[in-house]
Copies of this chain bind each other. A is one copy, B any other.
Amino acid sequence: MATIKDIAEQAGVSRGTVDRVLHNRPGVNKEVSLKVKTIAKDMGYKTNRAGRLLAAKKKPLKVGCLLPDIGNNFFESIIKGFEKAYDENKDFGLTYIILHIKGFEVLSHLKEIDNLVKQNCDALLLTTIDHPLIIKKINALIDSGISVACVNTDIPKSKRLFYVGADYFKSGQTCAGILNLMTKTKREILLLNGSYKMFGHNERLKGFIDTLDRNNTDYHIVEKDETLDDIERAYLITKKALIKYPEINTIYLGAGGSDGVGKAVLEERADNKPIVLCFDKVKETMHYINIGIVDATVTQAPFNQGYFSLKYIFEYEMIYNKKKKIDDYICPTHIYIKENL
């Protein structure tokens, strides 16, 4: 494998010059630069991770993560993923901080992004809102040389470098796929979305309906509502619906709130349980799967979302020197039932 030293010898220049050329740093004669570049190409030069990373220790990378995780334990696994990626790369000069916030208010998100920048982050990992002001902010950051990637929630129209997260539509389709597997009799569905303001939740719902329609599933939506990721609200809605509509035989829960739904089902339908399908694998959901109230849950590898986003942005900065495009990473869609929990 060709090294900088090899190239320098071939080109009859010093290693410093080669380094300057390879990083497009100013102050190199055009002809020399061209010569070095062609030689590097000819020799198939690839920067060596070990050398690069050892030298990089002097100038560590600080990544700032914005996580609207207050009051939402879905994000626990993402944080575990961050920790793992940090662990593997801290010796190579990686540091990171997490800013925990609550909810999805544009102004508070904007403020906290600035907050991360003020703390001298070189790169940002954001779980934020697809909104014109945020897009503008991300684009400005990118233009100023700060790398930004999206985690869990994409903002495709911005200049963000890459997205690591779920394919919500597919998770909804998978949920419908399970339902079709389970029974062919007519489904009377209580449809509980998370929030109609959330792009991901809506996509999920679309995917669910899409697959039901595509398979000519015999179904009828008895009632629909939003849980707003609120347990109490989920409980009340479910309880009321189950009382009012005894025909309900299926519950779709598009986001948080399994604790409330589970409780309501236990109270109203302990013996004639409807099919209950939900998303993500937080503690409460696992509990209701274990006791047989929730039949299945669809997840999108949240650990991976944390792990790969941090790993990739680190590699983008520290190994590829911002010169290689990083592909989006769409997490695999998994189904969990009691037996493989």
Closest B residue to A338 by beta carbon equals: B177
Query: What is the size, in residues, of chain A's interface with B at 8 Å between Cβ atoms?
Result: 35
Q: Which stretch from A117-125, A240-248, A329-337 is at the chain B interface?
A: A329-337
Q: Are B170 and A340 in contact (CB under 8 A)?
A: yes
Q: Which stretch from A43-51, A75-83, A221-229 is at the chain B interface?
A: A43-51
Of A176, A182, A337, chain B has the most CB atoms within 10 Å of the CB of A337
Residues of B within 8 A of A298 (CB): 340
Beyond A171-B340, A173-B340, list 4 extra A-B contacts (CB 8 Å). A50-B54, A173-B339, A177-B339, A334-B334
A54–B173 CA distance with the chains assembled, in angstroms: 47
- The 4 A-B residue pairs with the shortest CB-CB distance in the complex, in nearest-first order: A177-B339, A49-B91, A333-B340, A50-B54
Residues of B within 8 A of A177 (CB): 337-340
Distance from A115 Cβ to chain B, minimum over Cβ atoms (Å):
27
- Binary contact readout A72-95 vs B (1 if CB under 8 angstroms, 0 otherwise): 000000000000000000011100
Does A178 touch B at the CB level, under 8 Å? yes
Q: Are B91 and A50 in contact (CB under 8 A)?
A: yes
Does A313 touch B at the CB level, under 8 Å? no
Which of these, B49, B57, B181, B337, contacts A174 with CB under 8 Å?
Answer: B337
